[in-house]
């Protein structure tokens, strides 16, 4: 068994490390209060991701709650599932999601925009819906005066188009505005729309003691680690140093994942399904567990990895793309693995 002596990630970590991970001193003290001791680096890494603005909306949630959140045709209210769900009649529902990928696109426009598209498509088909259209809303600096803004625009537009074309879902429209205030940090909002039968909707939940949990899709690598914390920081002159926090997309793998997920959703073997986005395994397992009121045992040594010797916090926080968490009814494992 690893100890703090043999594994420095298990040694107590102080407030200086917490601040480097994006936590405030008062948040560090709250972590100590919750644990009843000093946290180690693994634990601080988890808290920094889950308490980031990107994952927790800790600063914006009060404003978000002032927006409309319910209606007679809503099948899933805001924040309940991976995407919004509206009853459109005749036994069909429309699933839709819009999400920003601003920070990654600011330092690596092509991959930042492409993985933004991939992420929202996964949010759609994890609910059992088939994506049918993509849109976008973009803001850049003055492209007539700033080479950086031209670089942003070319990379973002190509990233969105290439991912959509390879994935097989058309980009039907969008909007773009230019203003000098977006020179450093562009706004890249991607939207996906899908359709699903109302009796085929899959929830992002977990329950049932002994039910197996699968990670499906790509293997886990070191790309995107601390991506959620990075996305919650200000863009500065040194932000290019955070390039490893940008994820790398594979739309062809996502296409395979889409078809396999919809085939799986057509069975009754599923308990729940969740996209692995920000904070990877950490966020997806905790969100599904919280929704279903059931905990999970996670065996990190069973996670397929791209590199040897990945540390626990790297596996927990990796944001490698095209991965999903699937909870299956016990006894149906062989059927699911065959798909």
| Catalytically annotated residues | 54, 101
Helix (H) or strand (E) holding 330: none
Q: How far apart are CA 23 and CA 105, in angstroms?
A: 23
Residue 280: how many CA atoms within 13 Å on its side-chain side? 33
Q: How far apart are CA 43 and CA 60, in angstroms?
A: 24
Q: Where are the beta strands (DSSP E) in 160-319?
A: 171-178, 187-197, 213-217, 270-275
Say if CB 250 and CB 321 are below 8 A apart. Answer: yes
What is the chain's length?
A: 339
Say if CB 255 and CB 168 are below 8 A apart. Answer: yes
Q: Distance of CA 61 to CAs 46, 123, 203, 288, Å? A: 20, 20, 23, 20
Say if CB 122 and CB 275 are below 8 A apart. Answer: yes
Query: Which residues neighbour 39 within 8 Å (Cβ) at sequence distance 6 or greater?
Result: 12, 13, 18, 28, 31, 32, 47
Phi, psi of 291 (to 5 degrees): -65, -40
Two tokens, residue 29: 């003290």
Phi, psi of 190 (to 5 degrees): -110, 145
Which residue's entry shows tokens 């680690």? 225
Q: Where are the beta strands (DSSP E) in 184-286?
A: 187-197, 213-217, 270-275
What 309-314 contacts at long range (C-beta under 8 Å, 24+ apart), as own/partner pairs, is: 310/220, 310/222, 311/9, 312/9, 312/42, 313/9, 313/41, 313/42, 313/45, 313/46, 313/225, 314/222, 314/225
């Amino acid at each position: 068994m690893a100890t703090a002596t043999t594994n420095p990630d298990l040694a107590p970590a102080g407030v200086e490390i917490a601040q480097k991970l994006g936590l405030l001193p008062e948040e560090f003290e709250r972590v100590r209060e919750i644990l009843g001791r000093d946290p180690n680096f693994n634990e601080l890494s988890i808290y920094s991701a889950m308490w980031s603005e990107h994952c927790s909306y800790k600063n914006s949630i009060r404003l978000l709650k002032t927006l409309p959140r319910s209606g007679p045709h809503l099948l899933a209210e805001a924040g309940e599932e991976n995407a919004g769900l509206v009853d459109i009649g005749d036994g069909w529902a429309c699933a839709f999601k819009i999400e920003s990928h601003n920070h990654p696109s600011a330092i690596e426009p092509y991959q930042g925009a492409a993985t933004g598209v991939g992420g929202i498509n996964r949010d759609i088909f994890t609910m059992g819906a088939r994506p049918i259209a993509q849109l976008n809303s973009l803001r850049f600096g003055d492209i007539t005066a700033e080479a950086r803004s031209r670089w942003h625009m070319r990379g973002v537009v190509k990233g969105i188009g290439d991912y959509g074309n390879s994935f097989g879902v058309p980009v039907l429209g969008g909007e773009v505005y230019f203003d000098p205030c977006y020179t450093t940090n562009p706004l890249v909002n991607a939207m996906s729309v899908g359709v699903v039968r109302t009796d085929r909707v899959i929830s992002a939940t977990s329950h049932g003691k002994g039910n197996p949990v699968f990670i499906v899709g790509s293997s886990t690598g070191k790309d995107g680690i601390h991506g959620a914390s990075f996305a919650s920081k200000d863009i500065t002159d040194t932000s290019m140093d955070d390039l490893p926090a940008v994820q790398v997309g594979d739309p062809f793998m996502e296409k395979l994942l889409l078809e396999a997920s919809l085939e799986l959703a057509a069975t009754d073997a599923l308990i729940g399904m969740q996209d692995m986005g920000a904070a990877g395994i950490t966020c997806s397992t905790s969100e599904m567990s919280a929704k279903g009121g059931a905990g999970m045992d996670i065996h990190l040594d069973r996670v397929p990895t791209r590199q040897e010797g990945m540390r626990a916090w790297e596996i927990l926080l990796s944001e490698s793309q095209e991965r999903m968490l699937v909870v299956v009814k016990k006894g149906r494992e062989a059927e699911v693995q065959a798909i």
